Structure 1
Amino acid sequence: MDQTVLPVFYDVDPSDVRKQSGIFAEAFVEYEREQRFNAELMGKLQRWRQALTDAANLSGWDLRDVANGKSF
């Protein structure tokens, strides 16, 4: 679709997004627990997981490396 995507990871470790670990794992576990009987929403969850993995695999900015949005 000829779009440019620039991921910005603010106050989150990109590897937590990629691997759905840390707070992402907790959120997905809670959502799965609530939706475990809804096949449509579980399919949507799998698409979200893949989209987050794909986004985290792109080159982007990790704002933990800058102070107040400005380079050191």
Structure 2
Amino acid sequence: MKCQRERNQIVVPVFYGVDPSEVRKQTGSFGKALAEHEKRWPPDRVQRWRTALTEAGNLSGWHLMGDR
């Protein structure tokens, strides 16, 4: 996401086996993983990850559910 902002690069997220809203809102497995990371990493770093996931979840991309 930093490259998109600073270098004007194109970012196309691929959501494989996960709903984009789960990434955007950090629910389900993403929420659990981030909660665990908050125990081990500095809060500002985890907050940057949360912000980047929200931004990525808001982008148009491919939502792939299934085996193809």
TM value normalised by structure 2? 0.81
Q: 1:20 matched to which residue of 2?
A: 26
Unaligned runs of 5+ in 2: 1-6
Equivalent runs, 1:1-72 vs 2, <5 Å: 1-35=7-41, 41-64=42-65, 68=68
Hey, what's the Cα distance between the residues in 2 that align with 1:9 and 1:22? 14
Hey, what's the Cα distance between the residues in 2 that align with 1:50 and 1:15? 14
Hey, what's the Cα distance between the residues in 2 that align with 1:20 and 1:45? 12
Residues 2/26 of structure 1: CA separation in 2 closer, same or farther (3 Å cut): same
The residue type paired with residue 24 of structure 1 is: F
TM value normalised by structure 1? 0.77
Relative to total residues, which structure has the larger helix share, 1 or 2? 2
Number of residue pairs matched by the alignment:
62
1:33 Cα deviation from its structure 2 partner? 2.7
